[in-house]
Amino acid sequence: MSLVGFYLSSIFNLNTVQPANYQLKSPPKVEIVTPAPLYRDPIYDGAADPVLVYHPQRKAWWMLYTQRRANLNLPGVAWCHGTEIGIAESADQGLTWRYVGQLPLSHPDSGYSFWAPDIVRDDNGLYHLFVSYVPGDGDKHVGWDGNRYIFRYTSKDLWSWKHEQKLPTDSDHCIDPSLCRLPDGTWRVWYKDESARSSTFALESKDLTNWKKVPDPSVSKLYGEGPKVFQFQGSYWLIKDPDSGLDVYKSPDLTRWTYQGKILQNPGNRPDDSSIGKHADVVVCSDRAYIIYFTHPNGQDYPEKNGLMQLVAKRTSIQAAELKVEGGKLTCNRNAPFRIRLTPSKN
């Protein structure tokens, strides 16, 4: 064999013995982390008040939210009016979201605003949407005045909605409905009454149609908007937004509540998460729970320009974090990396 042939055979000899300490190493495992922000509205950049629902026909999760018109130059708080309910969709258990459009809801007035939805499904598979409704031309609605109502709609497919009723609240200044079922099967809706120091009150119903007042839901003492009620780790919880983080209440039976303190009151260090957490939804998936909230990433303490709020003070982002129960209290470390895995309820 020639010298060249010997050299080539030694290079390509597959039987060449490797050194004793040679090991093939697997590539490093890359952990998938839930992105921050989770979602921004691509139309107006003002997504707020999110609620999540599983869409069985599309095998995806839908996020419904108040579509504030943050990037429009409107006087006062008109950018928070004239709002539709926006829709985003996730087909990967909540990791990524894409904009779908606006929920087509009928309305009795030519000018209107829809805010802060909540959705439940009854025993027959019919969906019930509860949503705040504000009559009046949104572009001219420069203050926080005017009537507010809570409307109920029904749907079989989460897209075609029938208006059913205005809830019989004590005043015409009520918003932010949140539904949960009592152990005996009765439905209860908590909401904010702005005519009563923005306290939290409740109605209940056996059939989601005929409602009666709950004398004292026992969480009405402290101001707050956007109440959210859920069951997790053997207890019921209610969170609401007093604009200083989220207040937390705990209950064994949805009637007796104990105040537990706050979560999301300290700014986080993730992108767009450097301000207090606001009006939130919670999705419980077996032994894990995720809180979906919104932020004003840059705060709102900016001077007006030409009599109008700047976009930097109006824009919002949707964020997600994981909830835990530690020492009997609900906790949330918004800075902790985690992988969101939304799974539909078996009910």
25 three-state secondary structure: coil
Q: What total of structural domains would you count in the chain?
A: 1
pLDDT tens digit sequence for 109-146: 999 999 999 999 999 999 999 999 999 999 999 999 99
Cis peptide preceding 168, ω within 30 of 0? no
pLDDT at 175: 98
Domain assignment present for 25: no
- Cα separation, 112 vs 106, in Å, equals 10
Predicted pLDDT of residue 263: 98
Where the chain has pLDDT below 70, the residues are: 1-30, 347
The answer to whether 237 and 248 have CB atoms below 8 angstroms apart is yes
Whichever domain contains 309, its CATH number is 2.115.10.20
Q: Cα(223)–Cα(225) distance, rounded to whole angstroms?
A: 7
- 17 belongs to a structural domain: no
**In-domain check, residue 11:** no
Kindly state whether residue 341 falls inside one of the protein's structural domains.
Answer: no
Q: Looking at residue 253, what is its pLDDT?
A: 92
How confident is the model over 260-310, as pLDDT tens digits?
999 999 999 999 999 999 999 999 999 999 999 999 999 998 999 988 999
Question: Is 345 within a domain?
Answer: no
Q: Is the dihedral of CA 101, 67, 163, 185 positive or negative?
A: positive
Residue 342 lies in a domain: no
Domain that holds residue 76: 37-332
Closest CA to 137 of 46, 43, 226, 74: 74
Whether 10 is in a domain gets the answer no
26 within domain boundaries: no
